[in-house]
A and B are shown apart, each in its own frame.
Chain A
Amino acid sequence: MTPHMMCVTQLASPATKQMYSRILTSALFAGAAAGLIAALLQLVFVQPVLLHAELYETGELVHFGGAAVSAHPELPGFDLMRDSLSIVFTMLTYTGYALVMVALMSVAEGRGAEINARTGLIWGLAGFITFHFAPGLTLAPEVPGVAAADVADRQIWWTATVAAAGVAMWLIAFGSNKISYLIAAVLLLVPHLIGAPEPDSFSGPVPTEIGALFAARAFGVGMAAWVLVGSFAGYFWQAEGERTEASA
């Protein structure tokens, strides 16, 4: 038995190393690429709405109670420091998402799932639902200046909802019986039936038109970015696998 065990250690070690390298490399490429595109989409489609809202948040513009305000004010343009930080943090965030996704892809492939750029599209959609849409359905994307409950309470609700939705997505994708679909439905519904922490009163100074556009844009850009991160993750996972096999 002892020689066998030794044999396992010797065999498993390079294989495990290869697995670390394959997961990390695929996730870094996929996350950085999708994150960069996400950041650019955000700068073009979300940032102007956010900057417009901030004019109301700071009181520079006032909604109601005065002369009608133009819906097309002069917005501050590209801010090198602020927007560069946004690009870096978006790339980091999507790399974090990609690490989780590629790790789960490796587990799924071990169970017989096909992982490539095409199936990655569905992984991306599931990731969007898990990390963005499920929490956002009740804790709607917040435009600056919006009234909200205590941030720690909302983070707890956000985290629990994301965890529940993530398990639900896995059960829907890989569950083998009706019970797993039922559990998935319960996991998806319950956080919203319980409800997210809400503010005591509404004091948001931002026009509803801006708030609605912000939520729509945040979800739209989020979905595009997630679908890309999924597809890229599938692509790099497969490409890295072929590269490792070729060099082995």
Chain B
Amino acid sequence: MTTKTLNASAAGLGFLPAVFAIVLGLGVVTLTGHVQAAALHDAAHDVRHATGFPCH
């Protein structure tokens, strides 16, 4: 039982960095690709078109 508990907590900790990186990555992509704030949209305009994001 002790071993099980140890494995479970180790696995739980092991996934945290991956989850953090995925959230951070999707956050960055949302910012560059989707947020419609005028300044962001204008700055990222050409990239959004070229990278296949819905733009206007």
A87-120: which have CB < 8 Å to B?
89-90, 92-93, 95-104, 106-107, 110
Contact partner of A16 (CB less than 8 A), chosen from B13, B28, B49, B50, is B13
Q: Interface on chain B toward A: helix, strand, loop, or mixed SS?
A: helix
A75 located at the interface, meaning its Cβ lies under 8 Å from any Cβ of chain B in the complex: no
Contact partner of B52 (CB less than 8 A), chosen from A23, A89, A103, A141, is A141
Q: Which of B13, B16, B17, B31 has the most CB of A within 10 A?
A: B17
A191 located at the interface, meaning its Cβ lies under 8 Å from any Cβ of chain B in the complex: no
In the bound complex, residues from chain B placing their C-beta under 8 Å from that of A82 are 46
Pairwise interchain contact B6-A89, C-beta atoms closer than 8 A:
no
A227 located at the interface, meaning its Cβ lies under 8 Å from any Cβ of chain B in the complex: no
**A-B interface contact total, Cβ < 8 Å:** 144
In the bound complex, residues from chain A placing their C-beta under 8 Å from that of B20 are 20, 103
In the bound complex, residues from chain A placing their C-beta under 8 Å from that of B2 are 1, 4
Pairwise interchain contact A110-B51, C-beta atoms closer than 8 A:
no
In the bound complex, residues from chain B placing their C-beta under 8 Å from that of A183 are none
Contact partner of B51 (CB less than 8 A), chosen from A20, A102, A103, A132, is A132
Report A7-22 CB contacts with B as 1/0, cut-off 8 Å: 0100010011001100
Pairwise interchain contact B49-A99, C-beta atoms closer than 8 A:
no
**17 cross-chain CB contacts under 8 A:** A1-B2, A5-B6, A8-B9, A20-B20, A24-B21, A27-B21, A86-B47, A89-B43, A90-B47, A96-B28, A100-B21, A100-B22, A100-B25, A101-B25, A148-B54, A151-B54, A154-B54
Across the A-B interface, give the 4 residue pairs with the lowest CB-CB distance, nearest first: A99-B25, A96-B28, A154-B54, A103-B21
By a beta-carbon cutoff of 8 Å, the part of chain A in contact with chain B is 1, 4-5, 8, 12, 15-16, 19-20, 23-24, 27, 39, 42, 46-47, 50, 82-83, 85-86, 89-90, 92-93, 95-104, 106-107, 110, 131-132, 135-136, 139, 141-144, 148, 151, 154-155, 158-159, 214, 218-219, 221-222
